[in-house]
Amino acid sequence: MDLEKLPVYQLISNNESHQERFKHGSTPSEDPPARATSNEVGYQGPTEIGVEPFAAFNSPTPPDQQSYFPLVSPLQVSNDVHLLHRHGARYPTSSKEPAGFATRLQAAGNYKASGHLEFLNTWKYGLGKEVLTPFGRSQLFNLGVGFRQKYGHLLGEISDSKEKLVFRTTSQHRMLHSALNFAAESIIIEGPGFNNTLAPYHTCKKGEHVSKTVVNEIISNWTEIYLAEALPRLQANLTGYQLTFDDVVSMQKVTSALVASDPPELKFMFWYAYSFGSPSAAAIGKGWVEELVSRLTQEPIQQYDSSTNSTLDSNPITFPLNQKIYVDATHDTVISCIVVALNLTSLASEGPLPTRSMPKKQSFVSAHISPFAGNLQAQIVDCEGGKKMRFLLNDAPVPLSGLQGCPEDSQGFCPLSTAVAALEARIKEIDYQHDCNTDYSYTPPFGGGGIVDGRPPSH
């Protein structure tokens, strides 16, 4: 056997001493000890936990040597990582729908359903509210495991072994427990009157107005178009209760909570209320981008004029700047706004969503941006030419064509200094007070269109 031609992992696997490392615990016996008497892994008890092992070291079979894009090449080493993730799958929110449909149906009393709707005769709405589903808890656990496998080696670079990493989340139940399933964290109060970059909509009055008025009108008009044939078809199978368009939308929401589904109105809600088509989206996402730049440069935020919290962000205990790993838990709408604030324009390259039709091809897909447990990673790597940065959205590299000076790169990398300068320029472009609190009027054109940069036309 020519050892020089064997790959490293096979050399390791053929080593007899390496095979001995797979023998855990002692030889089985008819009368095992009542308590742990060994330091070997086979017994429950204290064992040393070190840095993340390479697959070749602890795999009984040689690993598949195929390329896995977008992992960094062997010539690049991850330097630090900034993770922003959504909570896991949850039950419907406490808004009146979709539970409202069940309440109205029960109040009708003497109704009779037939055909495909026959199940409504005995159907009872039994979904919970707001909190994580069991699957949602597992999503964040799996996200944490995968994150540890990719970036666990950075833990070994922490100079002080007693130093605790600060991972952040908000005080909502599903947010807290998403973070707990991922790892430990610090909690930022989510509610009116508190600056919170992970729940920034509470301090942006214009964003709330857009989501409750403009978008509701868009969705109402759209439902009358795409449900025009469905409503009478369903009504034919239901007597004693008069269905409305809102009822059918609620039925769809129940379906999306029980099975995998992406209701079309979600695309409109995200585009026109929390993304490139909203005049306040860039402002809502600005605070987290400021925190990202502060972490990248290891320089404290100097001006607090957005959703940043001066009490927390000026304190090195609650907002450290020397970590190798940063983790923040947030909501789907916030991730969508942060994407706009980062100026990741490739996600809006095909322009605004029409509101009276559903195009077959569209660059903006809300389910691709912030699904349950969705995540955005800012990855910093050491390369031969210096440090580089890229954004991974749900593990896919995002082109940085919207960041001034960043070259076109097949893996989405940009020189770190160039990316930081572009982000600083983007921060200066966004006028938080104007976009969130000025009394301006903006309504998207009938049928769709309008802005594509998340800022009001007046700027």
185-219 pLDDT, tens digit each: 567 888 888 999 999 988 998 888 888 788 888 88
* 307 occurs within a structural domain: yes
Does the CA dihedral 188-191-196-200 come out positive or negative?
A: positive
Residues 113 and 53 reside in one and the same domain: no
Element (H, E) at 448: none
Residues 376 and 451 reside in one and the same domain: yes
Instruction: Provide the CATH number for the domain around residue 180.
Output: 3.40.50.1240
Q: How far apart are CA 274 and CA 454, in angstroms?
A: 8
Task: Say which range, 170-174, 178-182, 218-222, 407-411, has the weakest mean pLDDT.
Answer: 178-182
* 171 occurs within a structural domain: yes
Output the six-digit token pair for 381: 């790597």
- Are the C-beta atoms of residues 215 and 268 closer than 8 Å to each other? yes
Closest CA to 85 of 146, 130, 165, 153: 146
Q: What pLDDT sits at residue 245? A: 93
* 39 occurs within a structural domain: yes
User: Residue 404: phi, psi to the nearest 5?
Assistant: -60, 130
Prediction pTM value: 0.78
Query: Strand 386-393 to strand 414-415: parallel, antiparallel, or no bridges (unpaired)?
Result: antiparallel
Residues 355 and 280 reside in one and the same domain: yes
Residues 14 and 102 reside in one and the same domain: no
| CB neighbour burial string for 304-318, b if at least 16 within 10 angstroms, e if fewer | eebbbbeebbeeeee
Domain boundary among 46, 66, 86: 66
Domain boundary among 35, 66, 97: 66
Highest mean pLDDT range out of 24-38, 116-130, 418-432? 418-432
Q: How far apart are CA 364 and CA 276, in angstroms?
A: 9
Output the six-digit token pair for 213: 């008025």
Residues 317 and 169 reside in one and the same domain: yes
Q: How far apart are CA 375 and CA 180, in angstroms?
A: 16
Q: What pLDDT sits at residue 111? A: 92
Question: Under DSSP, is residue 371 helix (H, G, I), strand (E, B) or coil?
Answer: coil
By residue range, what is the domain housing residue 30?
1-66
Span 37-63, pLDDT tens digits: 445 544 444 545 555 554 444 455 555
Residues 293 and 404 reside in one and the same domain: yes
Task: Tell which wins on pLDDT, 291 or 102.
Answer: 291
- Are the C-beta atoms of residues 328 and 85 closer than 8 Å to each other? yes
Q: How far apart are CA 295 and CA 372, in angstroms?
A: 26
Q: Is it the case that residue 391 has pLDDT exceeding 70? A: yes
Confidence of residue 355 (pLDDT cuts 50, 70, 90): confident
Q: Is it the case that residue 416 has pLDDT exceeding 90? A: yes
* 10 occurs within a structural domain: yes
Residues 13 and 135 reside in one and the same domain: no
Residues 43 and 161 reside in one and the same domain: no
Residues 298 and 393 reside in one and the same domain: yes
Highest mean pLDDT range out of 18-32, 186-200, 241-255, 313-327? 313-327
Confidence of residue 177 (pLDDT cuts 50, 70, 90): confident
Q: How much of the chain exceeds pLDDT 70, in percent?
A: 80
Domain count, the chain: 2
Residues 59 and 174 reside in one and the same domain: no
Residues 152 and 23 reside in one and the same domain: no
Beta strand extents in 193-323 (DSSP E only) = 238-239
The arithmetic mean of pLDDT across residues 261-287, rounded, is: 85
Span 286-340, pLDDT tens digits: 999 999 999 999 999 999 999 999 999 999 999 999 999 999 999 999 999 999 9
* 72 occurs within a structural domain: no
* 49 occurs within a structural domain: yes
Domain boundary among 66, 89, 108: 66
Residues 46 and 104 reside in one and the same domain: no
352 C-beta neighbours (distance < 10 Å), count: 20
Q: What pLDDT sits at residue 403? A: 97
Confidence of residue 458 (pLDDT cuts 50, 70, 90): confident
Tally the residues of the chain: 459
| Cβ partners under 8 Å of residue 112, min gap 6 | 121, 238, 239, 240
Output the six-digit token pair for 34: 């009542």
Q: Is it the case that residue 386 has pLDDT exceeding 70? A: yes
Span 53-97, pLDDT tens digits: 544 444 555 555 555 556 666 556 678 899 999 998 888 877 778
